[in-house]
Amino acid sequence: MADGAVVRFGRVTSVSDPHGGWRIQARSPYDNTIENDADLPYYTPYLPKLIHIIPKVGERVLLISMSPGDYNHLNFYIGPLISQADKLFYEDFDYSIPEIGYEGWGPNPEIKKGVKPTLYPEEDDVCIDGRRDTGIQLKNEEVRVKAGVKVVTDSGPKNNTETPAFISLKYYPKNDYELDGFKSTATIVADKINLIGTHTTDPATKEIPVTESKDGTDNLISDEAMKELINKAHQIPYGDTLIEFLDILRTALAKHVHPFPTMAPCNDENMKAVASYDLNGMLSDNVRIN
């Protein structure tokens, strides 16, 4: 920093920037002569705009002014400053630094009841976490892209063990014969998994706007389009179940007999097995393609 730069804490008063530069307005002890929050100086993100983090009104930030005495120019901020990992969704200015706040550190969020180790990063992990229930976690030999692995409640985040969505890319550096010799895995987990191509001639899904939201939100796929995809995209068959049926069918074709020429085959055990096979049972209800 330049010599004489002033660094102090500030409470965010506005995140509305008329120029769209992600600037904020914040009040610090140096602003006691400014009565209206609207007249407070603007602060530009100190981090590069390749990283998008905007604090919320009421949160604590670190303010940096490069020109002491002139707080309307060359102002930057870092933040929000948050005390614990279970407060990512919001933490008020007064509680964000326990040493000077009113409540102290409080209980360790990593050992709260109902919290499992997967909820928070370990010391060696590198993470980008969203405010509530999303994140990218870089572990040793594994990358996790997560949504809904945690849910935010009034008592803090908890593990979602029933309906999480995540992608796990994992590498196994050791030759582990218990893993049948494979060295890496890519695993996708969710209630519904859609493998959708943007350009398709599939009549069931070609009119669904899979890369454009028309519902006024920032969704890549609108809620209505998602419902259509789940209803119209094609279910993937279970490969082993399909092979099982084809083996039964092959046996029936190879061993069938006709009582007389041009008559239907005899309804022996092989033909009965083909006729009674539950074809719908070989379709996955969770994975769909177009």
Question: What 3-state DSSP class applies to 207?
Answer: coil
Residue 27: count of CB within 10 angstroms of its CB: 19
- Read off the pLDDT of each residue in 213-230 and give the average, rounded to a whole number: 79
Average pLDDT, the chain: 86
Instruction: Give the model's confidence band at 214: pLDDT under 50 very low, under 70 low, under 90 confident, else very high.
Output: low
Residue 64 zone, left/alpha/beta (φ > 0; ψ -120 to 50; rest): beta
The Cα-based distances of 177 to 70, 168, 173, 249, 280 in angstroms read: 67, 21, 12, 36, 36
Residue with tokens 């996790």: 144
Please tell me the predicted confidence (pLDDT) of residue 12. Answer: 97
Weakest-pLDDT range from 41-45, 175-179, 189-193: 175-179
Rounded CA-CA distance 75/27 in Å is 13
**What are the residue ranges spanned by the domains of the chain?**
6-93, 110-189, 196-290
Beta-bridge partners for 166:
146, 189
Instruction: Give the model's confidence band at 219: pLDDT under 50 very low, under 70 low, under 90 confident, else very high.
Output: confident
Q: Is the pLDDT of residue 114 over 70?
A: no
Domain topology for 6-93: OB fold (Dihydrolipoamide Acetyltransferase, E2P) (2.40.50)
- Verdict on whether the full-model pTM lies above 0.75: yes
Query: Over the stretch 72-84, which tens digit does the pLDDT of each residue have?
Result: 678 999 999 998 8
Please tell me the predicted confidence (pLDDT) of residue 1. Answer: 46
Instruction: Give the model's confidence band at 251: pLDDT under 50 very low, under 70 low, under 90 confident, else very high.
Output: very high
Q: Is the pLDDT of residue 154 over 80?
A: no
Q: Is the pLDDT of residue 248 over 50?
A: yes
The radius of gyration of the chain from alpha carbons, rounded to an integer in Å, stands at: 29
- The amino acid that residue 38 corresponds to is A
